[in-house]
Amino acid sequence: MAERANPAFAAGAVGIPLAAFLLAATVGSVETHIYVHVMAGVLWTGIDLFMAMVMGPVLGSLGLSARADWFEKFTPKMSFLLPTLAMVTIFAGITLAVRIGVFPNSGPWIGLFTLVTFGVATLLLGKVFDAFGDRRWQAFFALVVIGNGAYFASELAAAGMTMPSTSTIILAILAVMFILTVQGFGFLLPNEVLVYRELLSSDPDKERISRLGMRNAKLSGVQGFFQLAIIALMVYLRWNPP
């Protein structure tokens, strides 16, 4: 897939956001941390809304072959860029909230969030690719559940499930992040992989490529709605700290 996306683009789309996040979360200032979080979120939200509000109607007016040709070029690139922007936005936001003191006692809640979110996303991946009988998927699912479960258990034992005074807002933000992460890694990314697998076949099914691409364009609109909701919640949290 990296070859179809252009190896330089794929490396930059993954490497630059991740490097910026690691820099901000380790040695960067709070201002740098905010910048990385906001910029990743702006790009993620902007691309999703652009896909749903602009490209979706345009692509819907094209013929089947032209639409499929467009998705053949677009999908490999987005398979690297959007998941990276999503992960950087979410984890930069969580680490920033902890850093500036609006999410104290975050460990057990982050452990619960990652356990449930990635457990559900992995189950959806297994369903989409009919992989429940595949030992590789079973091993990956066990690693996700056991690893995140162990982290959650250790954090729970150390601190307990107490919440800050802004507990309602924090829980609402975690709920929206759950929806965004599951939708992204359980539906959008698998659809992109299915498009890629179709491209590798000796006789690509343009109708299927077009259908999967348009499905993702519509799902991007749903993602955009929830992203705007989480922005509203974070703005409220920023100006109403505990």
pLDDT digits (tens, 9 = 90+) for 59-93: 878 787 888 888 888 888 888 998 899 889 988 98
34: nearest Cα among 110, 103, 100: 100
By the 8 A CB rule, do 100 and 30 touch? yes
pTM (predicted TM-score): 0.81
Which residue type sits at 35?
A: Y
pLDDT range class, residue 185, cuts 50, 70, 90: confident
Helix (H, G, I), strand (E, B) or coil at 192: helix
162 pLDDT higher than 60: yes
Four-CA torsion 195, 8, 17, 218, nearest 10 degrees: -20
Percent of the chain with pLDDT over 70: 95
DSSP one-letter code for 58: H
206 pLDDT higher than 90: no
Q: How many CB atoms lie within 10 A of CB 130?
A: 9
pLDDT at 166: 58
pLDDT in tens, 78-133: 889 988 998 899 889 889 988 988 887 888 888 888 998 889 889 988 888 888 99
Axis crossing angle, helix 7-26 with helix 64-99, rounded to the nearest 10: 10
- Distance, in Å, from the CA atom of 2 to the CA atom of 11, rounded to the nearest integer, reads 8
Structure tokens belonging to residue 49: 């809304």
- Distance, in Å, from the CA atom of 46 to the CA atom of 224, rounded to the nearest integer, reads 8
pLDDT at 52: 82
pLDDT range class, residue 18, cuts 50, 70, 90: very high
Burial class of residue 136 (count of CB atoms within 10 Å of its CB; 0-12, 13-18, 19+): exposed
135 pLDDT higher than 70: yes
